[in-house]
Structure 1
């Protein structure tokens, strides 16, 4: 699985973002993985993806949906286990530990770039 930092402009927003780009990686997502850290040091970018679910998760997630150009289309905060969300027109979904999107300052309209 590829891994690299996520940038907002020239600033590293998240230092370690793993990419789920194959069918099997997208299917597994964060299931059976250690919990994402609450400090924002780790995240999962699912590509392509316009909807997610938290079935089987043990903790809340923030989900940031990105357009094809990397623009943040929507941010869904603190999605509890056994829920779901979607964004029409999104190409990617960035999954973070609940509360991290606000902690690192992500906003709708930001343009993010994954360097992996």
Structure 2
């Protein structure tokens, strides 16, 4: 599936609802966004909150169903399968890039 971008109000509200669980390399960009929820979902997700420059402000690993998370300074959030942020080696304060994801997936990191 790859990364999907949710920019409309309807797409941002819907998120992963009604979708298959994300697999390795799948993600949902939600912009603008400062808070996410997993109400109605059956699986946990990683939530990676970023600023406009792509700098990681906060990572919420394995956000369980029925929970919420926020980062008021965020511009957007990338929702991933639980464990993906750690697998990709993302850390708070670093700049996230799609190229880095592609490189790590090819190398099997």
| Bin for the TM-score computed over the shorter chain | 0.7 to 0.9
1:82 paired residue among 60, 63, 66: 66
Q: Which has the higher helix share?
A: 2
Give the 4+ runs in structure 1 shifted more than 4 A: none
TM-score of the superposed pair, with normalisation by structure 2: 0.85
Q: State the partner residue of 1:34.
A: 20
Deviations 1:36-73 (A, max 9, x none): 01xx2200010000000000010011000001111000
Structure 2's unaligned 5+ residue stretches are 100-109
Verify: 1:56 aligned to 2:30, yes or no. Answer: no
1:67 paired residue among 51, 60, 75: 51
Q: Considering Cα pairs closer than 8 Å and 6+ residues apart, tell me whether 1 or 2 has the greater RCO.
A: 1
1:74 shift after superposition? 0.6
Aligned-residue RMSD, C-alpha? 1.5
Structure 1's unaligned 5+ residue stretches are 4-15
Q: Which has the higher strand share?
A: 1
